[in-house]
Amino acid sequence: MAFAILSSGGDAAGMNPAIKKFVDYCTKLQIETYLIYEGLEGLIDNKIKKASHQDVAGILHMGGTIIRSSRSKRFFDSQYRKKAYENLKAYDITGLVVLGGDGSFRAMDVFSSEFDISFIGIPSTIDNDIHGTEYCLGVDTALNVIRDALDKIRDTASSFNRAFVVEVMGRNCGYLAAVSAITSGAEVCVIPETIFAREDLEKRLKKEIDNGRRYVLAIVAEGTHQTNKVYEWIQEKLELETRVSILGHIQRGGNPTVYDRMMAFDFIINAVDYLREHSHSSKVIVYNQGQLSFKDIREITADKYKLSEHYLQAINYLD
């Protein structure tokens, strides 16, 4: 019996602490461990290496993933999945831990249904947009990176009587934008889940500007494709000099926060224990209301993530 770990899809801070804990915990249990480099592509190309303490020493504080990641179109071809399984079989690897999102889990669902391989998925995406879990590995670090940037941008905005439109990540999910707007004291938040109430905001902000407001901070989720429209609206209607700042991929990097490190440890320990106790499983470990549990992959992938009503209501109180 041997277990392996891989990263798939976008990187997220917390992956390296998870990789380290995986190797350390399996070693303690006297389970052979392997690192699969470059995600599903590496699984196909046999980029599999037996893990040692030296491979994971000193990586706890690092962002990204030392085993690298990829998105793989080839994995959707049955001949390449067969090749991937043969690679695992050659090392007697019976269980996989996959750090990734719902796309990775869908791929592994097909893979584990075709071959005798157990799989545990650990939700790992800064968008925090996986159905069935309140928290995904890496989101806390991303929020803190955004918070730091917004605090600095607000300093500049207030110094020059300017408005800033800040675009944050989030393809179809406004989680990062909503939480960042709430915790930074932004005046405007535009997310895919709600209609941008431009007229009401315009009336309120014009009145505040007349009464002495000197700047406006607007947070826009990239998935809305509204960044330029919000910029033009503030310039034309609020008559404030406006700048646009797109945070981009800095949101993926950075030293993992204490919370992401601790959650990585908990995810891994529970995932490894589950693999040991269940000979054939295809599960995703999730975190809800302070508890870890396991769900079937198809339960995770059956529906799209929906932003909590709590956050939708909270952004209505921005001022």
Tell me which H or E stretch contains 153: helix 139-160
Task: Classify 161 in phi/psi space as left (phi over 0), alpha (psi -120 to 50) or beta.
Answer: left
Strands 188-190 and 216-221: parallel
* CA–CA gap between residue 103 and residue 87 (Å, rounded): 22
- How does DSSP classify residue 124? B
Q: What CA–CA distances, in Å, run from 119 to 8, 286, 294?
A: 13, 14, 12
Exactly one of 11, 45, 109, 127 is catalytic; which is it?
Answer: 127
Task: Classify 135 in phi/psi space as left (phi over 0), alpha (psi -120 to 50) or beta.
Answer: beta
Q: What CA–CA distances, in Å, run from 107 to 28, 77, 157, 164, 177?
A: 30, 10, 45, 40, 29
Residue corresponding to tokens 């910029």: 231
HSE-up (13 A, CA, CB side) for residue 86: 8
* CA–CA gap between residue 128 and residue 140 (Å, rounded): 9
How is residue 71 written in tokens? 């998105």
* CA–CA gap between residue 252 and residue 184 (Å, rounded): 19
Residue 127 designated active-site = yes
* CA–CA gap between residue 114 and residue 292 (Å, rounded): 28
Report, as residue numbers or ranges, the catalytic residues.
Answer: 127
